Amino acid sequence: MDEFDQIESEYLQRYEDRHPPVPQQYPLVPVAAPLPQPAAIPLYDISLAQAPEQPSQENLLTRRVAGLPVWGWGLIGTAAVGAGWYLWKQGKVTENPTEPAPAAPRLPEAPEAWSPSRTRFGESLGSWMARRSIPGRDVTVYTDADDAKRHVKPVSPLVTVKCAASVKMPMEELQKFCAEEGLCATDHGEGVIGFYPAESGNRAREWESYIDALRDEGQTV
């Protein structure tokens, strides 16, 4: 520092000591109240953020039953009902008609073996009279000779008939009927008709053998 500068500095120092500097005044500016500090918000790792699991919004139609939703089962049921209704309208389903098996040819029945029988002949005689409107109540047919001899005379060892006076027996037709059986009819009068073996024929001979067998068993006629 040169001499001039030193003198100036001493002068300024003495001046400041006599005249202190007036502090500079500034206009008062209202100071605003401090704003409240916001609360600190903790920060989390966004990778850890997950939306809360929402409860299932499944309804009745989407609920699964046996692996299928309810609406699927509804479609199946509707299709089944429709098919059943269609079949009902079309009528009952029948199997393919098959031609019936041809009936086996009916063989002619073998004629019943004939044998002499007083009971069988008496029944046939009753049917024959019924076809000719001869009232059975007016005709008595005896198929047992020992029983017949207590009521009528004479008596055939085979079959004897006692007719009421009101009955007119057609003898010609009766003879034709008897001939088929190997017999002949004899009118003894007073409504008594006896049946005897015919004069010839195989059946007539069988009737004769039949009479012998009855007498061997104890018949008295």
Tokens 């990778």 map to which residue?
47
The residue among 150 and 82 whose pLDDT is bigger is 150
Tokens 């073998």 map to which residue?
110
Instruction: Give residue 153's pLDDT.
Output: 92
Tokens 């704003």 map to which residue?
35
CA–CA separation, 207 and 198 (whole Å): 9
Burial bucket for residue 182 (CB in 10 Å: 0-12, 13-18, 19+):
buried
Condensed to tens digits (0 to 9), the pLDDT of residues 44-100 reads 565 555 555 555 555 655 666 666 666 666 777 787 777 777 777 776 545 555 555
* Confidence (pTM): 0.50
Is the confidence at residue 139, as pLDDT, over 50? Answer: yes
Instruction: Give residue 136's pLDDT.
Output: 85
Instruction: Give residue 162's pLDDT.
Output: 95
**Both ends of the chain: CA-CA distance in Å?**
208
Instruction: Give residue 93's pLDDT.
Output: 46
What are the angstrom distances between the C-alpha of 2 and each of 7, 13, 119, 195?
Answer: 9, 17, 196, 207
Q: Which of 14-23, 91-100, 165-174 has the highest mean pLDDT?
A: 165-174
DSSP letter string, 78-132: HHHHHHHHHHHHH----PPP-PPPPPPPPPPPPPPPP---HHHHHHHHHHHHHHT
CA–CA separation, 179 and 184 (whole Å): 6
